[in-house]
Amino acid sequence: MKSVKWIIQGRVPLAMLTVLAGRGGLAKSTIAVDWAAQVTTGKAAGSLAGTPGHVIISSTEDTEAETLTPRLTAAKADMGKVHFIHLHRGGVDGSLTIPDDIDILREAIQQAKAEQRYGKRPVLFIDEIHRL
């Protein structure tokens, strides 16, 4: 059996889907922001320890300027390694919809990979996804 490699030891496996689910107000987004900061600074206690990486964030619940950037900054994230996906439909901010937005997601991953050395895949955080 193949051993599991971790991004966040014992919590978030590398190259696998992790769902952080629960009622509103339980700090799921705050936990995700902390994990993102750990990845960008190489402080994630797992297989990526010591190797800073890029993260991609798509969020419809929190705004980049008013909420996410201040939280990431407070968590000491390397903001040069944080990429945001912005979706606008008919003048309204939208959420990532799978499979409709797969090309947008693919482009964001390719852009982040181009900025990252050694061709490693970025870590993707999606706060609210529709029609998975």
Q: What is the pLDDT of residue 63?
A: 84
User: In tens digits, what is the pLDDT along the chain, a chain of 132 residues?
Assistant: 788 889 889 999 988 888 888 888 889 889 999 999 999 999 998 888 998 989 989 887 788 899 999 999 999 999 999 998 877 666 666 677 778 888 888 888 888 777 665 456 778 887 765 544
> In the numeric block, which tokens belong to residue 96?
């990532």
Q: What is the pLDDT of residue 116?
A: 65
Chain position carrying tokens 């996410």: 68
Beta bridge partners of 89: 92
Residue 1 half-sphere exposure toward CB, CA atoms < 13 A:
3
> In the numeric block, which tokens belong to residue 104?
């947008």
3-state SS, residue 33: helix
CA dihedral 12, 15, 21, 25 (to 10 degrees): 60
* Burial class of 56 by CB neighbour count within 10 A (0 to 12, 13 to 18, 19+): buried
- The Cα 111–Cα 24 span in angstroms is 32
Q: What is the pTM of this model?
A: 0.83
| Amino acid occupying residue 16 | M
**DSSP-derived secondary structure letter, 60:** S
